[in-house]
Amino acid sequence: MKVLVTGGAGYIGSNTLVELIAAGHEIFVVDNLVNGKKSTIDAVMNISNQRFVFFDCDITNRENLSCLLDKVKPDVVMHFAGVKSVNESISNPIYYYDNNFYGTSCLLHSMDQVGCKKIIFSSSATVYDPKGEPPYTESHPTRPINPYGRSKLFSENILEDWASLDRDRSAICLRYFNPAGAHTSGALGEDPRVEPTNLMPIILKVASQSIERLNVFGGDYPTDDGSCERDYIHVTDLAKGHVAALDRVRSLLGYNIFNLGSGEPTSVLDLVMKFSLVTGVEIPYQIVSRRLGRLSEVVGKC
């Protein structure tokens, strides 16, 4: 299929490009490089030994986006473009709604203009109500607790409304748990321009000694070792999940949601230990107080 990938210069998008090319799809990429890098696009071309068209364009620029879609006329859009820092979304919520929600609306508008009726969207487990008991299935109630999460849920809502208007339309929302890891080449990992707040990039910074030690948020959770549990999914598995969704997008009509996780809980201390075991690098850490405004434990059920 001819697939337009938004946000393809980012962490998950770039890993997915490799799998899409390997599966024989024709790809086109659009990214404004606010957090992605052109060198990541070059790395995908090197790994896949294939060239493809890259557009440096902001999806909230309706005019440019419509022009671009008119040129490409994709069968399917895979929509990764978005900003994703919870902290930044709290200090600058309007940017998050503009970029993530309005960006999705612009995309649907441009898709309508060229008759593209299929979209696969990067959503997040952060949309779930943190009050309920994990594991969270797709039917668990939603109630995001920060502007980032709300920008994702509002985007899901607009996709649901859009999909209901025409029986040939398909919108697949993939709710990721905690993506981690890198492509086996080592060339496509999580390397954000902004200061990382996610666990794995921070562990990597400690390993490379640019941060002295890891602060483990909370040592009094009701888990085996007292540290907080999450559901980590390897980025290559996540990427393959997108190819699987693409295989179904023509037959799976309407609006559908799928969790993408491993279903297995891993604690922060487990992850630190496993990291040291695999790399041989010690990660100094200290237990500090719990981080506020976040989910306590999240485990997916797919």
Q: CA–CA separation, 302 vs 299, rounded Å?
A: 10
Q: How far is the CB of 280 from ligand NAD (least distance, A)?
A: 26
Q: How many CB atoms lie within 10 A of CB 94?
A: 10
Q: Decide which of ligand WQD, ligand NAD, none touches 197; Cβ closer than 5 to 8 Å per partner kind.
A: ligand WQD
Are the beta carbons of 94 and 156 closer than 8 angstroms?
no
- Subset of 170-189 contacting ligand NAD (CB under 6 A): 176, 179
**Beta carbon nearer to ligand NAD, 192 or 219:** 192
Among 202, 253, 281, 302, binds ligand WQD (CB under 6 A): 202
Burial class (CB in 10 A: 0-12, 13-18, 19+), 18: buried
Residue 110 makes contact with ligand NAD by CB under 6 A: no
Candidate segments 5-13, 108-116, 198-206, 250-258, binder of ligand WQD by CB under 6 A: 198-206
Q: CA–CA separation, 270 vs 47, rounded Å?
A: 31
Could you give the residue numbers annotated as active site? 148
Residue 61 makes contact with ligand WQD by CB under 6 A: no
Q: How far is the CB of 254 from ligand NAD (least distance, A)?
A: 22
Residue 163 makes contact with ligand WQD by CB under 6 A: no
- Subset of 23-52 contacting ligand NAD (CB under 6 A): 31-36
Residue 58 makes contact with ligand NAD by CB under 6 A: yes
Q: Phi/psi at 178 (nearest 5 deg)? A: -110, 100
- Site residues, ligand NAD (CB under 6 A): 6-7, 9-13, 31-36, 58-60, 80-84, 99, 103, 122, 124, 176, 179
